[in-house]
């Protein structure tokens, strides 16, 4: 049914373009783009979170005067157009309007391919052969698709939507990634009468980083990661419940600290090192999506606050919390905080390495701080 509707849409667009002609169609597109660009520029200047929606609105407002005078403008164009250009003008009109119809159809197909849910409408679009062919030709995970789908039309669903391409298994086997594993340890503690496990990594001499929710409410936090660290206890010296970060100090010789990397562009190959489900260390291939602004609720409760979230594609599980997301040079791109829910791909969220400096500096004073109340992980 969707394929039939798409064919009818294309036929209607072609007929409409034949009637309007290329000159009139291009005039309308040009005015739409100018109006949209001006509106989007104003939206960006005032900090609007939806510049693409404002672009669409500005473009539609821009073509209202043309729409109101469409008949008069169309007759004027036809009157001044030389006879020899009449047929080429109609052909261009067909091409322009078919192109616009295809872009609209691709956008609908792309949304259906990345938005979670199994409604009848989404299922129908996903099952349509022509829609699938367009998405395969211009995948929403590619550079063009990422630009369009991240532009403000799609709402955040349990976190920023992740549309990065599927990571390759080879990412997890990169030599620098394998070497970085030595600087990643397991973090264990008892909170709310439960064993809580997570992951930590070396950020400096005698200093480890993990998530605040991994150590919240713990009287003692133990480290495991080789004979020299097995059963060693650490002290929490920085605790950030909003960004879900914590720094641990330990009086033991640690492996080399992992270097921090600058903000990575969309699609950067990566790997997540951690201890999923509290078991043995594993390396999981990943790919960076983006750093996005998002309202995050502190782990201790209370109103949501603005935060910067690192979104990436990768299959993280409980126990990966606090683990590093590293690039193929073994540098830390960010720290894992949560598993993405409601996504059509395996997704995770964390904090970008570029935002870790303040808490590392705070934890370097090595003074013990409170970790608040424990968090009931069964709640």
Considering only residues 148 and 371, tell me which one the structure prediction assigns the higher pLDDT. 371
| 8 A C-beta contact, residue 371 and residue 212 | yes
Query: What is the percent of the chain with per-residue pLDDT over 70, rounded to a whole number?
Result: 89
Second-level CATH architecture of 269-357:
Beta Barrel (2.40)
Q: What is the pLDDT of residues 320-331, one digit of tens each?
A: 999 999 999 999
The neighbour count for residue 236, using CB atoms within 10 Å, is 21
Considering only residues 363 and 107, tell me which one the structure prediction assigns the higher pLDDT. 363
Compute the mean pLDDT over every residue in the chain, rounded to the nearest whole number: 85
Per-residue CA distances from 295 to 37, 158, 304, 347, 372 (Å): 28, 11, 6, 18, 22
> Hey, where are the domains in the chain?
2-149, 269-357
Could you tell me the pLDDT band of residue 361, with boundaries at 50, 70 and 90? very high
Tell me, what's the pLDDT at 148? 55
Burial class, 341, CB count within 10 angstroms (exposed 0-12 / middle 13-18 / buried 19+) = exposed
Q: Measure the CA dihedral 164/343/174/323, to 10°.
A: 120
| 8 A C-beta contact, residue 164 and residue 349 | no
133, 276, 257: which is closest to 198 by C-alpha?
276
Could you tell me the pLDDT band of residue 376, with boundaries at 50, 70 and 90? low
Tell me, what's the pLDDT at 155? 45
Tell me, what's the pLDDT at 379? 34
Distance, CA of 253 to CA of 88 (rounded, Å): 77
Distance, CA of 341 to CA of 156 (rounded, Å): 11
As given in the structure block, the two tokens for residue 117 are 């849910």
Tell me, what's the pLDDT at 242? 87
Considering only residues 184 and 377, tell me which one the structure prediction assigns the higher pLDDT. 184
For the question of whether the overall pTM of this predicted structure is more than 0.85, the answer is: no
Q: Is residue 117 pLDDT above 70, yes or no? A: no
| DSSP type of residue 112 | H
The helix (H) or strand (E) run that includes residue 240 is strand 232-240
Distance, CA of 16 to CA of 152 (rounded, Å): 29
Burial class, 67, CB count within 10 angstroms (exposed 0-12 / middle 13-18 / buried 19+) = exposed
Distance, CA of 316 to CA of 237 (rounded, Å): 26
309, 264, 312: which is closest to 166 by C-alpha?
312
Per residue, the 3-state secondary structure of 168-225, as one string, reads CHHHHHCHHHHHHHHHEEEEEEEECCEEEEEEEEEEECCEEEECHHHHCCCCCEEEEC
Considering only residues 252 and 247, tell me which one the structure prediction assigns the higher pLDDT. 247
Considering only residues 263 and 46, tell me which one the structure prediction assigns the higher pLDDT. 263
**Number of residues that make up the chain:** 379
Q: What is the pLDDT of residues 333-343, one digit of tens each?
A: 999 998 887 67
| 8 A C-beta contact, residue 114 and residue 161 | yes
Q: What is the mean pLDDT of residues 92-120?
A: 80
Q: Is residue 227 pLDDT above 60, yes or no? A: yes
Q: What is the pLDDT of residues 205-225, one digit of tens each?
A: 999 999 999 999 988 899 987
The neighbour count for residue 292, using CB atoms within 10 Å, is 17
| 8 A C-beta contact, residue 328 and residue 268 | no
Angle, vertex CA 215, rays to CA 210 and CA 216, nearest 5: 130
Could you tell me the pLDDT band of residue 259, with boundaries at 50, 70 and 90? very high
| 8 A C-beta contact, residue 312 and residue 267 | no
Tell me, what's the pLDDT at 364? 95
Q: Is residue 23 pLDDT above 60, yes or no? A: yes
| 8 A C-beta contact, residue 78 and residue 21 | yes
Could you tell me the pLDDT band of residue 378, with boundaries at 50, 70 and 90? very low
Range from 41-50, 240-249, 296-305, 341-350 carrying the lowest mean pLDDT: 41-50
Q: What is the mean pLDDT of residues 105-112?
A: 80
| 8 A C-beta contact, residue 318 and residue 378 | no
| DSSP type of residue 263 | P
Q: What is the mean pLDDT of residues 124-142?
A: 78
Burial class, 49, CB count within 10 angstroms (exposed 0-12 / middle 13-18 / buried 19+) = exposed
HSE, side-chain direction, 13 A CA sphere, residue 287: 15
| DSSP type of residue 2 | H
The neighbour count for residue 277, using CB atoms within 10 Å, is 12
């Amino acid at each position: 049914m969707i394929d039939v509707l798409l064919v009818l849409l294309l036929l209607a667009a072609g007929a409409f373009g034949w009637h309007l002609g290329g000159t009139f169609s291009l005039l309308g597109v040009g005015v739409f783009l100018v109006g949209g660009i001006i509106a989007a520029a104003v939206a960006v200047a005032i900090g609007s979170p939806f510049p693409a929606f404002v672009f669409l609105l500005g473009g539609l407002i821009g073509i209202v005067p043309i729409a109101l005078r469409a008949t008069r403008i169309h007759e004027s164009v036809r009157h001044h157009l030389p006879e020899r250009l009449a047929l080429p003008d109609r052909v261009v009109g067909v091409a322009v309007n078919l192109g616009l119809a295809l872009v609209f159809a691709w956008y609908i197909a792309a949304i259906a391919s990345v938005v979670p849910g199994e409604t009848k409408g989404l299922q129908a679009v996903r099952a349509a052969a022509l829609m699938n062919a367009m998405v395969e030709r211009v995948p929403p995970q590619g550079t063009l698709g990422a630009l369009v789908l991240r532009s403000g039309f799609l709402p955040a669903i349990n976190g920023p939507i992740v549309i990065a391409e599927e990571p390759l298994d080879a990412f997890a086997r990169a030599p620098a990634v394998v070497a970085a594993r030595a600087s990643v340890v397991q973090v264990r503690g008892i909170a709310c009468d439960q064993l809580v496990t997570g992951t930590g990594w070396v950020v400096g001499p005698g200093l480890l980083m993990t998530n605040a929710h991994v150590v919240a409410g713990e009287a003692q936090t133990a480290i495991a990661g080789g004979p020299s660290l097995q059963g060693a206890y650490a002290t929490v010296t920085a605790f950030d419940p909003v960004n879900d970060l914590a720094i641990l100090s330990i009086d033991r010789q640690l492996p080399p600290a992992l270097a921090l990397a600058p903000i990575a562009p969309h699609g950067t190959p990566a790997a997540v090192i951690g201890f999923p489900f509290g078991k043995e260390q594993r390396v999981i291939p990943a790919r960076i999506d983006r750093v996005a602004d998002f309202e995050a609720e502190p782990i201790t409760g209370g109103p949501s606050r603005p935060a910067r979230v690192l979104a990436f594609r990768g299959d993280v599980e409980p126990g990966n919390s606090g683990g590093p997301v590293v690039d193929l040079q073994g540098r830390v791109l960010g720290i894992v905080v949560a598993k993405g829910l409601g996504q059509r791909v395996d997704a995770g969220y964390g904090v970008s390495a570029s935002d870790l400096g303040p808490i590392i500096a705070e934890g370097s004073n090595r003074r013990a701080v409170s970790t608040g109340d424990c968090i009931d992980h069964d709640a």
